[in-house]
Structure 1
């Protein structure tokens, strides 16, 4: 999947930035895209290790994401065990078939157990499955039995009633709504209805990776109020690298720094750790000409604001 040329370009730029500059910006950072374990897929760090490494780097918060279960009910236990490290811990629910799909009852229960973020379907979305079958950029999920593809719209392109119920619950709890791995056409329908129903926290993950966004879509969804998160793993020295450094700059500028964030999207084996991925992303952004204030906005201020961490 990775482009050797792009990885070489990224590595060369990353090496031009001093560790101290990146480490200073890593302090206080919030990573809303940590794939630690246990999981159905191999992970190099578990949730405790991910938190410990974040604390060692001086980070302020992390959000655990698994495609097939919610870590949210375990956060109080983890807080009792490692809360003294001073890292705010969050999680949420991805609405894949493995957890009940587009089920308002499951969403209601998870929000009442502390889920901070509700992702629309990812690895079991219809868009993801179609993309995987035609060998485009979205990676297939081979760990589970084949799953029917999930869409938030009906055959006429109208939002499903059960999704409207889910949006009402997200609004009630002031939780974050992520578009998951839906197709851009579905995302527009979803987010416009979400805004009408009072959802205030909107998140788009890796818009140019398998979701069929245009640059105009990024700009307009940012204007709608969505935070546009770029996944570090797609740009740095990672086996998931599929974009050039210049494309990272273009993707960020399409939304604008004030509407952008960076999450590691890491935790897989044979990849940088989430903390190392964030460090590399910070270095890459600095090397691309983003100021320290720009980087601080994307790795600290914007994700902290989205998750509700007071300054």
Structure 2
């Protein structure tokens, strides 16, 4: 019998309905699943910009249906796509005031994303100009620093990421997550990831599966993730699903399969705990052990 348990786990990257793409669960259905398995926290994400307000509605639902002592909290964030004006410090500030826990750089509006999707990258959001981040991004970094939340690199290129991460660190941002660097759109080499960890003390978010393009089946990342953990070290890796696709298993099955695979691969359960609890607890400002 597997020693894997979902009790107390956190997943900082799940997509839900309502969305322009049909998702497997609504916000409330995901909250139901999280309470069932004893999860501590989930961060819901949308390419449409804000999820922090939706997260609070889900939390109110959980309190009314399950009571005050489930131990589960849903969080949201802000994705800086064109739908909210791109790198928009005012929108970010409003999201932070509502309780956002992660601010993502552009996803579908990233130049890298458009390029990899065969579209004109110049239609995307400029983040780096003449080797430096744009002024608006510096304002966003200051807000992230002041609210002590996470910066997610989203769908930017490795070349952009090195400039952005250095500028964010210089601005005092303490929590930086390299969003699914294994995804072919982002396409960070192992050397890139090792350098980012070594030079900037970032967290590498490694997700359950990746979209390989329109009409193609998803690719399971589990073997590559396990190998990366062995090479880079578990201390800087966060296990997330990037779940919510109807083509893939439901969220709780993804998380269970992911953790079970790592355990079978030889990753100690204590290290899995670190990657699914210790790291996201710190990023979310949760006191370790508060899931008990």
**Which of 238, 241, 261 is matched with 2:219 structurally?**
241
1:123-202 correspondence to structure 2 within 5 Å = 123-133=108-118, 148-154=123-129, 156-202=130-176
Count of matched residue pairs: 276
- Separation (CA, whole Å) in 2 of partners of 1:126 and 1:147: 7
The two structures, once aligned, show a CA RMSD in angstroms of: 2.0
- Separation (CA, whole Å) in 2 of partners of 1:199 and 1:254: 26
Task: Provide structure 1 residue ranges, at least 5 long, that are not aligned to the other structure.
Answer: 1-17, 135-145
The TM-score with structure 1 as length reference comes to 0.84
Please state if 1:220 is matched with 2:195: yes
- Separation (CA, whole Å) in 2 of partners of 1:77 and 1:71: 10
- Separation (CA, whole Å) in 1 of partners of 2:55 and 2:251: 19
Residue 42 of structure 1 corresponds to 22
The TM-score with structure 2 as length reference comes to 0.89
Residue 41 of structure 2 corresponds to 61
Contact 2:13 2:241 in 1 (8 A): yes
Residue 11 of structure 2 corresponds to 31
Contact 1:264 1:275 in 2 (8 A): no
1:208-287 correspondence to structure 2 within 5 Å = 208-209=182-183, 210-223=185-198, 224-234=200-210, 239-241=217-219, 243=221, 245-287=222-264
- Separation (CA, whole Å) in 1 of partners of 2:230 and 2:142: 32
1:290-309 correspondence to structure 2 within 5 Å = 290-309=267-286
Task: Provide structure 2 residue ranges, at least 5 long, that are not aligned to the other structure.
Answer: none
Q: Which runs of 4+ in 1 moved over 4 A?
A: none
Larger RCO (CA under 8 A, 6+ residues apart): 1
Aligned-partner SS, 1:286: helix
Contact 2:49 2:81 in 1 (8 A): no
Residue 9 of structure 1 corresponds to none
